[in-house]
């Protein structure tokens, strides 16, 4: 009995030691994954805030780091942008100036500015949604529903209607449904339409862009052209009470409506 008791006691002690060591290892791994935010803040303040602002709000020379587009970047993509820059923009490549650890620390601090945990490259939940309903809604948005002709998100889409980045933080469910089902009920400021009636009776609508004593300028409904109409060469120019947004949502099937709505709520 004494032998069995001693063996049992030894096993319990062994298990305790293993669990303790495992806890220490996990803590060290967690520290290595999440450390560096303070160092990242120092680097950000030294090199990044001039263009992107002290809190990532954006400046004339740099885009915001806390908007929907930046939030949708996966951790790997965020590090790639910092490392390699972005061609065609003012975003410089920092891979030749900062070490991998320093770039990781800057990325972690940017995630903190976005209200997220520090970078964790082992976190599979980072980045765009992989919800199949949301993905189907995004495809619908960019294809048959025709939303991308007028609206943008991220760095793609049209400019006839408002950008949809951060939509979920601007509109609650009721306001979003009203915008989809009754687009003329509330037209966003700056996106009003003008109606040009030409001398032959032809009526042309477009987003109002500029006005002067001599002419008015509108953006064509497809968004591709800004067209100038001289006031003395047309029959009339009037404000339109109707939104340029078509009532397309109501024409979708129930499943497509669910998909599109899920995507819009993810923005």
pLDDT per residue as tens digits for the range 77-132: 889 889 988 877 788 889 888 998 889 889 988 988 887 777 766 544 444 557 88
Residues paired with 194 in a beta bridge = 206, 239
Residues paired with 210 in a beta bridge = 217
Domains of the chain: 37-113 (1.10.760.10), 132-186+247-265 (1.10.760.10), 193-240 (2.30.30.100)
Tokens linked to 37: 């935010």
Q: Are 187 and 217 in contact (CB under 8 A)?
A: no
Intervals of the chain under pLDDT 50: 1-35, 123-127
**Please, which contacts does 59-62 make with residues 24 or more away whose CB atoms are closer than 8 Å?**
61/90, 62/90, 62/91
pLDDT on residue 122: 56
Tokens linked to 225: 């052209």
What's the whole-model pTM score? 0.51
Give the strand pairing for 226-230 and 215-219: antiparallel
pLDDT on residue 165: 81
Task: Find the helix packing angle between 100-113 and 75-84, rounded to 10°.
Answer: 120
CB within 8 Å of 143: residues ≥ 6 apart: none
pLDDT on residue 195: 93
- Which SS3 state, helix, strand or coil, does residue 14 take? helix
């Amino acid at each position: 009995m004494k032998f069995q008791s001693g063996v049992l006691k030894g096993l319990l002690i062994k298990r305790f030691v293993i669990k303790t060591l495992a806890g220490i290892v996990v803590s060290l791994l967690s520290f290595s994954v999440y450390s560096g935010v303070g160092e990242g803040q120092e680097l950000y303040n030294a090199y990044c805030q001039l263009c992107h602002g002290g809190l990532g709000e954006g400046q004339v020379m740099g885009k915001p780091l806390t908007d929907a587009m930046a939030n949708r970047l996966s951790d790997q993509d965020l590090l790639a942008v910092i490392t390699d820059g972005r061609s065609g923009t003012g975003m410089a490549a920092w891979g030749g100036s900062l070490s991998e650890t320093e770039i990781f620390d800057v990325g972690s601090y940017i995630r903190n500015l976005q209200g997220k945990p520090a970078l964790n490259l082992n976190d599979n939940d980072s980045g765009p949604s992989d919800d199949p309903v949301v993905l189907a809604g995004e495809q619908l948005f960019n294809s048959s529903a025709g939303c991308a002709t007028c609206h943008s998100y991220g760095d793609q889409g049209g400019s006839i209607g408002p950008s949809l980045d951060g939509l979920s933080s601007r509109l609650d469910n009721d306001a979003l449904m009203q915008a989809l089902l009754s687009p003329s009920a509330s037209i966003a400021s700056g996106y009003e339409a003008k109606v040009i009636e030409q001398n032959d009776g032809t009526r042309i609508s477009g987003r109002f862009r500029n006005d002067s004593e001599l002419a008015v300028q509108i953006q064509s409904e497809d968004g591709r052209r800004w067209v100038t109409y001289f006031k003395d060469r047309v029959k009339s120019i009037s404000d339109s009470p109707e939104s340029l947004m078509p009532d397309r949502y109501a024409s979708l099937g129930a499943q497509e409506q669910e998909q599109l709505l899920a995507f819009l709520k993810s923005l």
